[in-house]
Structure 1
Amino acid sequence: MEGEKQKKTKLKPSSKHDKTATSDETYEDEDGNEDNGGADKEVANPNMQAIYNEIRALRSDLKSEMSEFRFSFRNDMKKELNEFKGEINQKLEEATSELNATVVRVAEAEQRISDIEDRDEAAREALIQALETQDTLQAKLTELEARSRRNNLRIHGIPEESEGPDLSAFVTKLIKSEVGMPVADMDLGIQRCHRALAPKPPQGAPPRSLVICFLEFRVKEQVLHTAWKKKVVRYEGKRIYFDQDYPPEILKKRKAYAGMLRELKAKGIRFQTPHPAKLKVFFDSGTRIYESAAEAAKDLKKRGITLENVTEPDPTVEKQQRLSTWEKAGANRSGRAVDRGRIREKLRSFQPASPGTSDAAE
């Protein structure tokens, strides 16, 4: 009995082994022989064996599924990456192609812009030269026009329609009576006379000037200087003025001195305005002649003469303005509608000269 107990004790599994030990675990008996519990022995806990078998089967299935999933996932990812890489390469090729085309177009645009700038610079230089030539020709034309008006005289301030039907007789009587010519019975030799060729002014506006053409330059100068020496000449109680008949271009240049003349007169500085459009100022330090209003304004400022409300003309600015306002002949110009009604009304506003007078004075 004791021998059987000891044999059973030796056959009892060690506490170090898992309770889920299987029936195929081997044990040694006292004689050193292996004993697997015997194939013919039943497992102590058949439920545990079943669970263990199911876990091993589940583990095997999971391992197989995970292997298949990894393989499928790897293939899918590789396929997606290849497709993405292909799309990226295609996009890069398209972008490179478009960039190359853009580079070509930009190069062409830069070349065209360069050509346009060169042509524009050449056209600008040609235009400046043409404007300078135009100024030279305009100066010559103005001089010719001024020479053609040398025998002309203008009288400002005569009321409208006060001359009556015979303007020539009215002017002759006015000059001899109001101006006070030294020889009363002197033949003035008036060839033509008329009102300035401008629309008749409305009631209360300044009247148009009278233009008188003398046969001899000497007689015209005598009448003009006599009127200037008298200083104040009146007609019907109103002051009238005698002056040269200047072309519009010269008259514009002379008007540019108006503000300077007021300042010089207020300061008591003597001056003259020689023909055609100069300014002669008699300073204490000497006499100075200015050829233009810009030159006069600059020098007067240096001399400490304040020129209020006087705009100093700038030839450079005027030239830039002329260049900027240059119009290109084309559709914009030819497509403008002509206001024929306005032109017709404008022409109707001109009144014919008084009977017995010419249309123009030389």
Structure 2
Amino acid sequence: MHRTPEEKLKTRLPTVGDPVGRSEASISGRTRSQEDIAGKKPSGAEIKTKLEMEGLKTLIEKEMGGIKTELLNLKKDMKKLNIKEEVEKINEEVKDLKTEIKDLKTEITESAQALKREITDKLKEQNKQMKIKIETLVKDKLSEVEEALNLHSTDISIIKDLAESSARNSDRDIKRLSELLDKITEKCTELEGYQRRSNLRIVGIPEGMERSNPRGFTADLLQQVLALDQKPLLARAHRVKRRFKGPGAPQGQMILKVQNDYELEEMMGKIVRSKNLTFEGARISIYRDYPAEVAKKRNAFRETKRILRELKDVRYTLRYPATLRVTYDNQDHFFKNPQNALDFAQRIKNQEED
């Protein structure tokens, strides 16, 4: 059975009636007797008594050591008991703290839900009020727009009538202006052609060959290529700047103005009779320098002229600005429309093949 340290101590300490107690009483009596007979030689009984006292002292020391050990153990047990109490106390506090946290969490959750409901209710109320304001504003604006439309409906009808009348008048004006523009354009083209009547365009001359004297260079070129008796008198000559260079770029071109008309006609006659013109091993082309609009119209007859060149007993001439004259079976046919001229050339070709 487990005993407490106090019980162990009681069992180890001697009582008054036990032999140890009697021995102590005897020892004290003997001690006084010894003091009385100090100086006397101890007897055998005294020696025995002394030995018993030393044994008792040893036993007491031994018991005191056990008591100290028990006291230390008791102290340790008391410490353990205090730690256990502290732990239990802490556990109790933790338990209380958990309960408080749980209660606080519940309170916060409830407060958050209440706040959410409150905010939701406020937002719904604000949305409702805003919707009412918007609807009212839209209705007011629509009313204003309807009033404005009603006020301007008459003006719109009047404007519509005026617009239709103006459109009819405008169609006549546009047609008249268009005819006038065509006449003006034709007159401008005619004037530009008249200004360029003495110009020639040379295509296929590499850049840089004229150096710093383009007029003298082109005069020598014309004399050499066309086998002229003397150099033609030129008013001016210049190179045409190309828009871009590289593969697919147009060939180098030069434009010159012949001073005398009779020299120009002589050169044109030789140009028409010559099929291939070359200069220093390069093939070149020489033709009149027409305005862009005239050149475009004349180029539209290119395919027709190619077919006519292959036919026998057919002569043609492309008059200025762009009228094709075809002589066939001693009859002259004139064409300003390139497609009509092409159809006529195809019919002649088919007849000869048949």
State the TM-score, normalizing by the size of structure 2.
0.50
Residues 120-160 of structure 1: CA deviation (Å, up to 9, x unaligned): 12112212211211111121121111111111111111122
CA pair 187-179 structure 1, distance change in 2 beyond 3 A: closer
Match of 2:283, SS state, is: strand
Deviation at 1:114, TM superposition (A): 3.3
Q: Is contact 1:167–1:194 with CA below 8 Å preserved after alignment?
A: yes
Preserved CA contact (<8 Å) 1:201 1:207: no
1:175 equivalent in alignment to 2:217: no
Task: Please tell me whether the aligned partners of residues 211 and 245 of structure 1 are also in contact (alpha carbons under 8 angstroms).
Answer: yes
Describe the SS at the equivalent of 1:273: strand
Give, in whole Å, the separation in 1 of the partners of 2:346 and 2:263: 42
**Aligned counterparts of 1:196 and 1:226: Cα–Cα separation in 2:** 24
- The residue that corresponds to 2:295 in the other structure is 251
User: What letter is aligned with 2:176?
Assistant: Q
Q: Which residue of 2 aligns with 1:229?
A: 273
2:201, 2:286 within 8 Å by CA — same for their partners in 1? Answer: yes
1:147 is matched with which residue? 194
Partners of 2:200 and 2:287 within 8 A in 1: yes
What's 2:319 paired with?
274
Task: Provide the residue aligned with 2:262 in structure 1.
Answer: 218
Q: In 2, distance between residues paired with 1:192 and 1:154?
A: 12
Given the alignment of the two structures, is residue 164 of structure 1 paired with residue 211 of structure 2, yes or no?
yes
Higher relative contact order, chain-length normalized (CA < 8 Å, sep 6+): 1
Kept after mapping to 2: 8 A contact 1:145/1:247: yes
Offset of residue 169 of structure 1: 1.9
Aligned residue number for residue 297 of structure 1: 339
Using a 3 Å threshold, how does the CA distance of structure 1 residues 208 and 286 change in structure 2: closer, same or farther? same
The residue aligned with 1:16 is none
2:305 equivalent in structure 1: 261
Give me the CA root mean square deviation. Answer: 3.2
In the alignment, is residue 191 of structure 1 matched against residue 235 of structure 2?
Answer: yes
Q: Distance in 2 between matches of 1:301 and 1:156?
A: 31
Map Cα deviations across residues 72-91 of structure 1 (whole Å, 9 max, x no partner).
xxxxxxxxxxxxxxxxxxxx
CA, structure 1 residues 140+204, in 2 after alignment: closer, same or farther (shift >3 Å)?
closer
Alpha-carbon distance between aligned partners in 1 of 2:272 and 2:343, rounded to the nearest angstrom: 30
Q: Is the 8 A contact 2:242 2:250 kept in 1?
A: no
3-state DSSP of counterpart to 1:212: strand
Report the alpha carbon displacement of residue 206 of structure 1 after superposing the two structures with TM.
2.5
How many Å separate the matches in 2 of 1:126 and 1:155?
Answer: 44
Contact 2:204–2:252 (8 Å) recurs in 1: yes
Q: Percent identity?
A: 25
Change in CA separation of 1:244 and 1:302 when aligned onto 2, cut-off 3 Å? closer
CA contact (8 A) 2:222 2:231 kept: no
Contact 2:219 2:233 in 1 (8 A): no
Change (3 A) 1:261 1:205: same
What does the per-residue CA deviation read over 1:25-84, in whole Å, with 9 as the maximum and x for residues that have no partner? xxxxxxxxxxxxxxxxxxxxxxxxxxxxxxxxxxxxxxxxxxxxxxxxxxxxxxxxxxxx
Tell me how far 1:115 sits from its aligned partner.
2.5
* Structure 1 residue 102, shift from structure 2 partner: 9.1
Secondary structure of the structure 1 residue equivalent to 2:209: coil
Tell whether 2:117 aligns with 1:117.
no
- Which whole-Å CA distance do the structure 1 matches of 2:254 and 2:197 have between them? 15
Change (3 A) 1:172 1:262: same
Determine if contact 1:151/1:214 at 8 Å carries over to the other structure.
yes
Does structure 1 conserve the Cα–Cα contact (< 8 Å) formed by 2:232 and 2:258? yes
Paired residue type of 1:250: V
- Gaps of at least 5 residues in structure 2 are 1-147, 350-354
Output the CA distance in 1 between the equivalents of 2:260 and 2:345: 42
2:303 aligns to what SS in structure 1?
A: helix
Change (3 A) 1:260 1:111: farther
228-237 vs 111-120, which moves further: 111-120
Alpha-carbon distance in structure 1 between the residues aligned to 2:225 and 2:303 = 30
Q: CA deviation at 1:218?
A: 1.5
Give the 3 Å change call, closer, same or farther, for CA 131–203 of structure 1 in structure 2. same
**Number of residue equivalences:** 204
Aligned mates of 1:224, 1:302 — CA distance in 2: 28
- Give CA deviations for 1:99-128 in whole Å, capped at 9, x if unaligned: xx9999877655543321221121122122
For the residue of structure 2 that corresponds to 1:143, the secondary structure is: helix
Question: 5+ residue gaps in structure 1?
Answer: 1-100, 308-362
Counterpart of 1:208 (choices 241, 252, 262) is 252
**What letter corresponds to residue 280 of structure 1 in structure 2?**
R
Structure 1 Cα separation of the partners of residues 344 and 271 of structure 2? 36
**Residue identity in the other structure for 1:192:** R
Amino acid at match of 2:250: P
The amino acid of 1:301's aligned partner reads: D
CA contact (8 A) 2:234 2:257 kept: yes
